[in-house]
Every structure is written in structure tokens, then in C-alpha cells.
Amino acid sequence: MKAVNTITPSVDGKGLMMGRKGYTDDYAEKNSLIIKIMRSPHPFARIKLIDTKRARQLAGVELVLTYRDFPRVPFTRAGQGYPEPSPHDKFVLDEYVRYVGDEVCAVAAISEEICEEALRLVEVEYEVLEPLLDFETALDNSQIIHPEPEIHEMFPTGFAPKRNQAAAYRMEVGDVETALKGCDVAIKETFYTQAQAHMMLEPHTANARIDYQNRLVIYSSTQTPFHIRRIISQALGIPLAKIRVIKPRVGGGFGGKQALHGEMFVSYVTYKTGKPSKIVFSRKEVFESTYSRHPMRITMRMGATKTGMIKAIDCHILSDTGAYGEHALTVFMVAGSKVLPLYNKVAAVRFGGEVVYTNHTPAGAFRGYGAIQGNFALESAIDILAEKLGMDPILLREMNMMREGETSPIFAIMGEGTEGTAMIMDTCKLDYCLKRGKELIGWERKYPRYDETREKVKAVGMAIAMQGSGIPYIDMGAATIKLNDDGCYNLMVGATEIGQGSDTILTQIAAEELQTTVAKVIVYSSDTDLTPFDTGAYASSTTFVSGNAVLNTARKLKQAMIVEAARILGTEETKIGFDGDMFRDSLSHKEISLKDLSNQITYSHEQKQLSVTASYVGHKSPPPFMAGFVDLEIDKETFEIKILDYVSVVDCGTTINPKLAQGQVEGAIVQGLGMTLFEEVKYTAKGKLVSSDMLNYMVPTRVDINNLTTEFANSYEESGPFGAKSVGEIGIDTPPAAVGNAIHNALGIRMTALPFTPERIYRQMLIKERVEK
């Protein structure tokens, strides 16, 4: 392999560092109307009266929009395929506001200052309602967050809004209660995970204009341009053919830009007025009014024989989706479906729970997508079980974990909102990942703790994880490759580059199959007019799904070029060999270069354009696997944690671009460490967001990370492009459990609630001391 699995600089890194124009707001029209949203100061209220007259009369104000301006069409902003597994429970604007930051009204005006002045002139009278802020009391609470009759689910998802239930699910393999009763050792623990903010550096933004064909053209910082086109068409009643969505360079997403946030407003304002418009979210709005991670309460029961064979796992989850049910069912299901198969030798496994509405900022897609929450509970429980068995926690894992060639019944049962897909693990190098990780971290020497002094203690901890590679039978990617007149190619993909490197790795895949160099493949991503469809950048789908689409396309184009070469050389296609530069007849030794061929078929010899479009939909979702090991130091007086090293050994099949794959893993590890140690979306007792700026919401900085050690297992997944599986999310899953296990190894306390702040650790130490007395 020449173009893939080699160190290749990203195709766009240089231009971006040199400051070239490229992000959404760089393309906003200079004369755009500015859109500002008035946001609810109450966590739950009904708008009794809204008077926009004075605002509308203000010079420079173009539109003031309230719920009365929009048709009563419920939709979901989730940015998923169709039909969506998320309930249609949102209106562009509504008479009810359901969290602090929910949209009350929107103003479009010629300047930001006039927008703000106009918003001050809008008079709103609220009927303030008692908010529901504790997700553990939401189910069947007398206060109902979504009483409106129009909302609905697209297919059965457990949607029961009268119970404040956005979704529910349960499944059981075997008989868990009987299996648990038959176990020598059983444990039960309840874990809590918090909301986390994505905090991509580019805030959400979108802008729109009407082009000279009278079509609506939207630039958006999005992960899902094709879903945006569909959802705008459905919710605003604009014909799909009238809409073009362009995704330029995106400054980070992590799931936070899968959904629609400003797109509805720029579309409506521009379609209505004919004038260009734009919306740029303030950082406060990004925190308060986009998405965060679903907080969960996870109860794990687990039982084993005294020799350490795990026989039963029972997992119940209560998930908080906030004010709207975006990704409610699917994130919650992934907390089981991409977690529980890790231990596939059980006699019985049960998974179930509910996703409830509260008056918090809505939760949505976020890297890991439930797997990080589920992994924290499962991999902490495994260490608890190992301790009770008096066994080495790594040995317990080795005895019970998924191996290559094996499967789990869960794959067939649990999909994303629907039934799943049975599959065998054709690649699973977990055993190698564990062994190599142990060596790299120095486990034998350091476990459970080392270098203990009066003030400090160092310790190690670990966890294993799995994710997926797209959603089988749902996620589809497509590509077009066009041959140019000097033998270089255009690669047009619907796949959405958001900074993760997809343009680069898809270029590498095309170059590999066409036996050329990355420099000769010109990539362009995500424009609903110009590129073929792709579901978008989510669910770890791009390398596997979109990558296979590019591979299929390149194969077909190569065949089409060989047909042309045979025609020009007057020979048979089957005799033609192609090495990337020359087409040669193996018998007659007649040959033509790609350069000459492309020139001739463009200008002089039965001219035609060679261009091929092909697509791919997965029939399986081969999971990447990893083992994560943390080496940390705890101050025994302040309980501050210092991460000394984090070792990741990852099986993601072939790494199409080893350095970019490493960047995906390491970026995710640090994002996971942030969630583990201090990141937390916090509210006041009255439901107002406290962590609404970067001073109150901390993410890891350079000084927080001492070292990361990242390696990849030698692995080749036959169903993936050149042996690759996906790698975007897997890195985020292990830090909570690995760090929790290391804290236990250091101090003998079990952390069951994230994040592991010094205060929480201290509290556990006090409890431990009280028990010991």
C-alpha cells in the first residue's frame, strides 16, 4: 500500500494554518440581516402575551418572529436519517418555553445593535410554570413538559410524553434473575454520569441568501448537510429542489453540529424577505441553547462463578434528554449495545430503561454517544467484581471478553432505535491491546499503586472499550470521481469533513485504488447541489461507510478507464493492465499513458467525460476496540489528580492515515479525561445554566496533559476499505472507568459519580474513614 497506511499531511492543514478563508461565517454576505434570538429566562413557562409592535417599528428591523409566524409542524432538530428515531417534539418557535435559553422570538435587523435594541422592545408576559429539574423524579410526575397534542414518534420508540418519557426500551437474553441467583459472587452498583459540553472552538453559525435562480443557498457549520436540507424542507414547507446546503470548513463538531440550530432561522428569514441573513451563536448560546451530553443514572448488576466466569449482566439506565427528545432513544441504546457485548460469554444479559424529559438544555449527539456512559458503569463494575472475587482485574477481563471470531446476541437484537444486525467479530485484537497496554504502562511494576509517600500516591487503572463503524442498513455514503484532461481526478464526497481528517483519508483511499498520489486527487466535500449523498459525520461512519463508497467508486472508474484504453489500443479489456500511469496490453505490449488517454478522450478521440458515482451501505458495523491505561498521581491532602500518562492501544483495522488516526484517539482521550476529571454542565437550583462561558466551564489545557502514548494493533478488517474500521469515537470511552479504577487502586475508594473532582474524592474518603472506624 502506497497512499494508505502512510504518513500523509492533511490536504487542508497548510492552507488553514496560513489563514485561508474557509469557515461558514467567512462566506456570509456583507449585507446580511443579523438574526438574534430572545431566549427564555425561565426553565418552564407559557408565553401569555408577546407584543412585538414597538420592535417591528424600530428603524432597521426587518422581521420579528414569534410562534404565531410558524405553521404548527413538529419536527426534530436531531439531524438523523429518515424516519428519525427521535420524536417530533419541537416547533421552530412555540408558545411554551421549556428550558432557560429556549427560543422565545427572533429578530432580523440590519445590525447587531439594532437587533439587541429590538429585543429590548419586545414585551413578553410569561405564565411561569414549576420546572422539572431532577431527572430522577421526572417519570410520571404531575408536571408534564410536553402536553401538546401534535407531537409524535416516527415509529415505536417508547415515546410517552404524558409520562415525561421521551423513549424507553428493554431486552433480555436468557433469564437474568435465575442466572444471578446461580452465581457465587454478585455485585450491584449505581453510577451517575454528568452532562458534558462539546466546546468545539467554532461556535454554531449559518447564513443564507437567495441565488440568481431564486433558490435558497445556506452555508452551515454542520455535520449533516443533507439532513439539514431535508429537515428545512419538511419543517418550513420549502420544496427540497429550492434548497442548497453548503458545508464549508467546519471548526469542530464532536456531535454538537449534527443537529440544526440556527439553520431554521436563516432559512425562514431569507426565504421570506429575499435578503441574505446570518446567525452566529455567542459562546453563551452555544453552552445554553445547543446540546450537551445526556446525563445518566446507570445501575449495574453482575454475577460470576467463583472461578471468575461472568454469568449475568443486568443494566438499567435512566437518561435525561432535557427539554427535547433529540437522540433520546439512540444514545441510551448505545449505552447498552456498544458496551455490553464486550463480555459475550454470559448466560443472560438484560438491558432496559427510560429516557425522560426535564427542563434542562436538551441533550444530543456527543462523541461516544452513550458508550462512554455505559463503559464507565460496566468497566467500573468489572473492577468491583474482580476485587470481590480476589482476582486480577485484567485476568477477569481476559477470561470473559470478546475475542476474534466470536459474537454476541446483542448485535442482532439492539440497533439504533430498531432491531440490530447479527455479526461476527472478524477483527478483534483486544487480547493484544491488553497485553501491549500492560507493557507500555508498566502494569506489573505499578499495579495497584506505587511511589507512595505521605503526601502523594501514584497508581494505575484501566478499561477496555468498543464502538462501531457506522449504522448497518441505515448509514449510506456516496462519492463521485471524475477524470480530468491531464489524468488527475476530482473526488466529490457527501461525507462531512469537520476537522477529523475525512477529506484527507478519503483522498488517500481513492489514490490507493487508482494507484496515484494524493496530490492528483482533488477532494471536495459536502454540498447538496454538487456532491452525492452521505448521511453525515456521525456514528463513527466516515472511514468505514464513506471510505467504502470511495473505494467502490474508484474501482468502477478504473474499470471505465480500462474500457477506454482497450478501445484506443484496439485490444481487449481483460488484457489491459493499469499501474496508475500506463495502460498496457499484456500480449501486444501496446500501451497508452493515463495522461494521453485522458487528453484524447477529452479533446480528440470519441470524446467523453469519464465520471463515476457509487455508494455504500454497511451490512455490518465492525467495532473498533481498545484498551486504555492511565498512570496518575493523587495529592493525598488536596485530592488533586495529575495524569502522568494515558496509554491507548487501539484496534481500528488498518489506519488509513496513522497520524490522523492517532490524533482522533488522543483528542478523544483528552476530551474523555476532561469529562472524567472536571468538565460539568451545572445549573442553579432554579434551572439556570451556571457553566455558560469558558470561565465557568473548563476544558483541558496544555498544562493538564503530561503525556499520551498511543499505538495501534496490527489488524485488517476485510469488510473495510483497505482493512480499515472507524476510529472517531472509540478514544473517548475508557477514561472515566480507567481513572475511577486507578483512584480505587490508589486510595481504596470507589468513585461512582462523574466528574471526579477533589471535593467528590474527599467526600468518599470521609465516608471510607467513617466506615473503617
Partner 1 sequence: MKVNLLINNEWRAFHVEAGEYLADTLRRNDFLSVRRGCDTTSCGVCTVLLDGKPVPSCSILTVAVDNHEVTTIEGIQKEADKLSDHFGREGADQCGFCNPALALTVYAMKKELKNPSDQEIREYLVGNLCRCTGYIGQEKAIRSYLEDLS
Give the binding range for partner 1 (CB under 8 A) out of 62-70, 79-87, 291-299, 651-659: 651-659
User: Minimal CA–CA distance to 285: which of 15, 732, 689?
Assistant: 689
Bridge partners of residue 461, in order along the sequence: 630
CB atoms within 10 A of CB 499: 20
Min dist. Cβ of residue 183 to partner 1 (A): 40
> Would you say 496 or 764 has its CB closer to partner 1?
496
Q: Rounded to an integer, what is the distance from CA 566 to the centroid of its chain?
A: 46
Q: Taking CB under 8 A as the rule, does residue 669 contact partner 1?
A: yes
Nearest-approach distance from CB 287 to partner 1, in angstroms = 10
- All cell numbers assigned to 418: 430498531
Kindly tell me which of 251 and 276 has the beta carbon lying closer to partner 1.
Answer: 251
Cβ proximity to partner 1, 198 vs 446, nearer residue: 198
Which part of the chain contacts partner 1 (CB under 8 A), choosing from 17-25, 329-337, 425-433, 481-489? 17-25
| C-alpha span between 604 and 286 (Å, rounded) | 56
Using DSSP's 3-state secondary structure scheme, residue 3 falls into coil
Among 21, 445, 589, 770, binds partner 1 (CB under 8 A): 21
Calpha distance 623→99 (Å, rounded): 36
Total binding residues toward partner 1, as defined by CB under 8 A: 57
CB of 497 to partner 1, least distance (A): 9
The grid coordinates listed for 302 are 453482575
Stretch 284-303 residues interacting with partner 1 (CB under 8 A): 284
From 693, 750, 763, 768, residue interacting with partner 1 (rule: CB under 8 A):
693
Stretch that binds partner 1, among 20-28, 99-107, 463-471, 587-595 (CB under 8 A): 20-28
Candidate list 589, 702, 770, 773; residue touching partner 1; CB under 8 A:
702
Among 89, 94, 202, 263, which residue sits at the site for partner 1 (rule: CB under 8 A)? Answer: 202
Provide DSSP, 257-268: TSS-SSHHHHHH
Name which of 200 and 597 has its Cβ closer to partner 1: 200
Indicate the pairing of strand 476-483 with strand 611-617.
Answer: antiparallel
Q: How far is the CB of 664 from partner 1 (least distance, A)?
A: 8
Provide the b/e sequence for 584-612 (b: ≥16 CB within 10 Å). Answer: bbeeeebebebebbbbbbbeeeeeeebeb
307-315, 547-555, 659-667, 721-729 -> range binding partner 1 (CB under 8 A): 659-667
Q: What radius of gyration do the chain's Cα atoms show? A: 27
Applying CB under 8 A, which of residues 43, 203, 353, 720 lies at the interface with partner 1? 203
Give least dist CB 54 to partner 1, A.
Answer: 24
Smallest CA-to-CA distance from 36 within 289, 291, 256 is with 289
- Regarding 12 and contact with partner 1 (CB under 8 A), the answer is yes
Nearer to partner 1 (CB atom), residue 251 or residue 653: 251
Q: Where in 471-500 is the site for partner 1 (CB under 8 A)?
A: 498-500
| CB crowding 104-116: b at 16 or more within 10 Å, else e | bbbbbbbeeebbe
- Stretch near partner 1 under the rule CB under 8 A, chosen from 35-43, 102-110, 277-285, 526-534: 277-285
CB closer to partner 1, 292 vs 662: 662
Distance between CA 209 and CA 219 in Å, rounded? 9
Q: How far is the CB of 16 from partner 1 (least distance, A)?
A: 3
Select from 32-40, 161-169, 353-361, 697-705 the region that touches partner 1 (CB under 8 A): 697-705
Q: How far is the CB of 221 from partner 1 (least distance, A)?
A: 10
Dist. CA 245–CA 229, nearest whole Å: 6
What's the Cα-to-Cα distance from 454 to each of 217, 635, 637, 766, rounded to whole Å? 65, 9, 9, 18
- Residue 157, judged by CB atoms within 10 A of its CB (0-12, 13-18, 19+), counts as buried
Cell output for 13:
492543514
Shortest Å, Cβ 100 to partner 1: 18
Interface mask toward partner 1 for 611-630; x: CB under 8 A = --------------------
Edge-to-edge, what's the strand order for the sheet holding 708-712? 449-450, 456-466, 625-635, 641-651, 708-712
Least CB distance from residue 657 to partner 1, whole Å? 7
Q: Does 60 bind partner 1 (CB under 8 A)?
A: no
Q: Which of 13, 147, 237, 405 binds partner 1 (CB under 8 A)?
A: 13
> Considering the complex, what minimum distance in angstroms separates the CB of residue 671 from partner 1?
7
Does residue 671 bind partner 1 (CB under 8 A)? yes
Question: Own/partner pairs for 52-57, CB < 8 Å, 24+ apart?
Answer: 52/105, 52/122, 54/121, 54/122, 54/123, 55/107, 55/118, 55/119, 55/121, 55/122, 56/118
End-to-end CA distance of the chain: 64
Residue with cell 467525460: 609
Task: CB nearer to partner 1: give 22 or 174.
Answer: 22
441 binds partner 1 (CB under 8 A): no
Site for partner 1 in 249-268 (CB under 8 A): 249-252, 254
Query: From the CB of 668, what's the least distance to partner 1, in Å?
Result: 8
The yes or no reply on residue 727 touching partner 1 (CB under 8 A) is no
Cα separations (Å) of 555 from 54, 559, 577, 613, 619? Answer: 63, 6, 14, 11, 20
Site map 24..43 versus partner 1, x via CB under 8 A: --x-----------------
Q: Compare residues 543 and 752 and give the one whose CB is closer to partner 1.
A: 543
CA 261, 263, 264, 265 torsion: positive or negative? positive
d(CA 654, CA 4): 9
Q: Is 282 in the site for partner 1 (CB under 8 A)?
A: yes
Q: Which residues here bind partner 1, judged by CB under 8 A? A: 7, 9-10, 12-14, 16-23, 26, 198-203, 249-252, 254, 282-284, 498-501, 657-663, 666-671, 693-695, 699-703, 705, 707-708
